[in-house]
Chains A and B, each alone.
Chain A
Amino acid sequence: KNQVEQSPQSLIILEGKNCTLQCNYTVSPFSNLRWYKQDTGRGPVSLTIMTFSENTKSNGRYTATLDADTKQSSLHITASQLSDSASYICVVSHRLSGGYNKLIFGAGTRLAVHP
């Protein structure tokens, strides 16, 4: 079954600290993996998209890694800020026949950054 599992479910860190969120998937065949940030009650906003051949990708203080062999990804947040408090959702693109992709969402990690 094509699934995306994220850990931890929730996380509390102090402002300025670093943290790493995990995403494991069993989706096959795999097209790409995305990390989204979702503020409460708002629409998800894309942070990174990683294809099969990419191992690391950065977007400011966010760095995503991908190990396609072990089907694991991580999102590292450096020098956290209060505004980083949000849910971080891992989304894996499942490649279907005909070239169409279906997105499979993880349940998200809820991050709270405290002053």
Chain B
Amino acid sequence: AAGVIQSPRHLIKEKRETATLKCYPIPRHDTVYWYQQGPGQDPQFLISFYEKMQSDKGSIPDRFSAQQFSDYHSELNMSSLELGDSALYFCASSLRLVKNTGELFFGEGSRLTVL
């Protein structure tokens, strides 16, 4: 079965550079979530989209932006990268969690290293 696809899987950038991560949700899923997971940390919610509109915002820095496109894929844009941005970035998709039991499927993550 198709899963959540994230690209690139690994990315190395230098401070003050920009980076773009992409997420392709499971077909027919209408909701996308972005999480940031630092070393030894639990995933921190960044932002989510439902039907191409931002539905919730977490601890996403102002330097980051994201959007969901008409084909439901999402991109996380990160500018003025800092060392502390080095982390594993997960994308997850689901049918909207209105019914309280919507399953959340995670991608394999994109590992960003900022030098």
Which residue from B90, B98, B103 sits with its C-beta under 8 Å from A46? B103
The size of the chain A interface, using a CB distance under 8 A, is 24
Across the interface, do A32 and B100 meet the contact criterion of CB distance under 8 Å?
A: yes
Q: Shortest CB–CB separation between residue B76 and chain A, in angstroms?
A: 15
**A41 on interface, CB distance cutoff 8 Å:** yes
**Contact residues, B12-61 vs A (CB, 8 A):** 33, 41-45, 55-56
Residues of B in contact with A, size category: 20 to 34
Across the interface, do B108 and A43 meet the contact criterion of CB distance under 8 Å?
A: yes
Helix, strand, loop or mixed for chain A's interface? Answer: strand
**A79 on interface, CB distance cutoff 8 Å:** no
The residue in chain B whose Cβ has the minimal distance to the Cβ of A46 is B103
User: Which residues in B have some Cβ–Cβ distance to A below 8 Å?
Assistant: 4, 33, 41-45, 55-56, 88, 90, 92, 96-98, 100-109, 111
